């Protein structure tokens, strides 16, 4: 396994142990409900890896757990012409800070399904 895959997979272990589970009853069965979507967490971690500014060598991707939210911080600013508002609306033109890395992760099964729609996907899942 590639070291990049190991880093992403290693990041998965922490949320799995840190995110609280709840439950609801559906008919005669208990249905487990996670406090936060693992799909969204995975997307946030992969986005952070693909879009981070690797020229900032002394900084790293960080995941912060608070009582009311989880934040994933990735070194670097948004690329020019990209705003939070445009990302929230799903209207961002595809711009990759690290296109080789994005293509590599897209070609490895299980890491990236779509390029250019990560933030919009996460917002739709959280607001569903």
Domain ranges of the chain: 3-126
- Report d(CA 90, CA 102) in Å as an integer: 19
Which DSSP letter does residue 117 get?
-
Cα–Cα distance for residue pair 62/75, rounded to 1 Å = 9
Residuewise pLDDT in 10s, the chain (128 residues)? 457 788 788 777 666 666 666 777 888 888 877 777 778 888 888 888 888 999 999 998 888 888 788 888 999 998 888 888 887 777 777 778 888 888 888 888 877 766 666 776 777 676 66
Task: Give exposure, 3-27, as e/b (b: 16+ Cβ within 10 Å).
Answer: eeeeebeebeeebeeeeeeeeeeee
- pLDDT for residue 55: 93
- Which pLDDT belongs to residue 54? 92
pLDDT given for residue 128 in this prediction: 62
Q: What pLDDT, in 10s, does the model give residues 53-77?
A: 999 999 988 888 887 888 889 999 9
């Amino acid at each position: 396994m590639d070291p990049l895959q190991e880093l992403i997979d290693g990041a998965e272990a922490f949320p799995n142990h840190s995110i609280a589970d709840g439950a609801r009853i559906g008919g005669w069965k208990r249905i487990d409900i996670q406090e936060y979507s693992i799909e969204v967490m995975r997307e946030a971690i992969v986005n952070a890896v693909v879009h981070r500014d690797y020229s900032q060598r002394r900084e790293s991707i960080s995941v912060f757990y608070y009582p009311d939210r989880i934040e994933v911080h990735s070194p670097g600013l948004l690329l020019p012409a990209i705003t939070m508002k445009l990302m929230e609306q799903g209207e961002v033109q595809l711009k990759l800070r690290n296109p080789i890395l994005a293509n590599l992760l897209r070609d490895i099964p299980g890491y990236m399904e779509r390029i250019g729609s990560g933030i919009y996907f996460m917002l739709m899942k959280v607001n569903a």
